[in-house]
Structure 1
Amino acid sequence: MATEYGGRPWRHAAPSYGGQPPNRARRGSQRWFAAIAALVLGVAGLAVALTGIAFQLLPRQFSAEQQRQITDWEVGKRWRTMPAGTIFPASLHYELSSALGVDLNLQLTADRIGIASQASCAAATDPAAVGAVLARHGCEAMLRATYVDGTDTYVITVGVAAMPGSAQVNAAKRELAGVVGGSNGAGVRTVPVAGSPAALFTDSRRQLSASFAAGPYLVFYAIGYTDGRPSVPVSADHYADSEMTFAGAGVAQAVASEVGKSVPPPTCPGTPGC
Structure 2
Amino acid sequence: MSFGEPEGYEGDARPRPLGRRGRSQAAAAAVCLVLGLGLISGAVTGSWLVGGSGEDGTLSTFAAAGSLWHSVPVDQLFPPTVQGRGAGPGGADRTWTRIAVAPDSGCKDAFDPLLRKALAPVGCERLLRATYTDATESYVTTVGLLFSTADAPGMTALANRFRKERLDRRSDLMPLPYAAEGTPAAGFGARQRASWTVSVLTEAPVVVYAVSGWADGRSVDDPQPAGDAMEADATTPAAQAGLGNEAKGLADRVERDFRRNVRSASEQPS
TM-score (norm 2): 0.65
Report % sequence identity.
24
Matches within 5 A, 1:97-246: 100-102=89-91, 106-126=92-112, 128-163=113-148, 164-176=150-162, 177-184=165-172, 186-214=173-201, 215-233=204-222, 235=229, 237=235, 240-241=238-239, 243-246=242-245
Instruction: Please provide the CA RMSD for this pair.
Output: 3.4
CA displacement, residues 125-145 of structure 1 (integer Å, 9 cap, x when unaligned) = 11x211123232222121111
| Whole-Å separation in 1 of the counterparts to 2:65 and 2:90 | 36
User: Partner letter of residue 95 of structure 2?
Assistant: T
1:140–1:95 distance in 2 versus 1, CA, 3 Å: same
SS of match in other structure, 2:217: coil
Give the corresponding residue for 1:13: none
Cα 1:204/1:192, change in 2 over 3 Å = same
Separation of aligned partners in 1, 2:191 and 2:129? 18
Shift of residue 190 of structure 1? 1.1
Give me the TM-score of the superposition, normalised by structure 1: 0.64
Could you tell me how far apart the structure 1 residues matched to 2:156 and 2:212 are? 23
The alignment covers a number of residue pairs equal to: 208
Task: Decide whether the 8 Å contact of 2:194 with 2:238 is kept in 1.
Answer: no
- The verdict on how the C-alpha distance between 1:240 and 1:202 changes in structure 2, with shifts beyond 3 A counting, is closer
Q: Does 1:91 align with 2:81?
A: yes
Q: Using a 3 Å threshold, how does the CA distance of structure 1 residues 75 and 227 change in structure 2: closer, same or farther?
A: same
Separation in 2, partners of 1:107, 1:192: 25
3-state DSSP of counterpart to 1:263 = helix
Q: Which runs of 5+ in 2 are unaligned?
A: 1-34, 54-58, 224-228
Pairwise CA distance, 1:247: 1.6
- Between 1:206-215 and 1:170-179, the stretch displaced more is 170-179
Counterpart check, 1:81 vs 2:79: no
Q: Matched residue of 1:204: which SS?
A: helix
Q: CA deviation at 1:174?
A: 3.5
Q: Is the 8 A contact 2:87 2:94 kept in 1?
A: no
Work out the CA distance in 1 between the residues paired with 2:153 and 2:138: 37
Q: Matches of 1:87 and 1:238 in 2, distance apart?
A: 32
Residue 171 of structure 2 aligns to a residue in which SS?
coil
By how many angstroms is 1:62 displaced?
5.2
Secondary structure at the aligned position of 1:109 is classed as: strand
Distance change >3 Å, CA 187–CA 75, structure 1 → 2: same
Contact 1:191 1:201 in 2 (8 A): yes
Secondary structure in 1 matching 2:60: helix
**Deviation per residue, 1:34-75 (Å, 9 max, x gap):** xxxxxxxxxxxxxxxxxx9xxx9xxx9558976589220012
Q: Distance in 2 between matches of 1:80 and 1:148?
A: 25
Q: Deviations over 1:198-257 (max 9, x none)?
A: 111001111112211343211011111111111132655268427222221111122222
Cα separation, 1, equivalents of 2:213 and 2:237 = 15
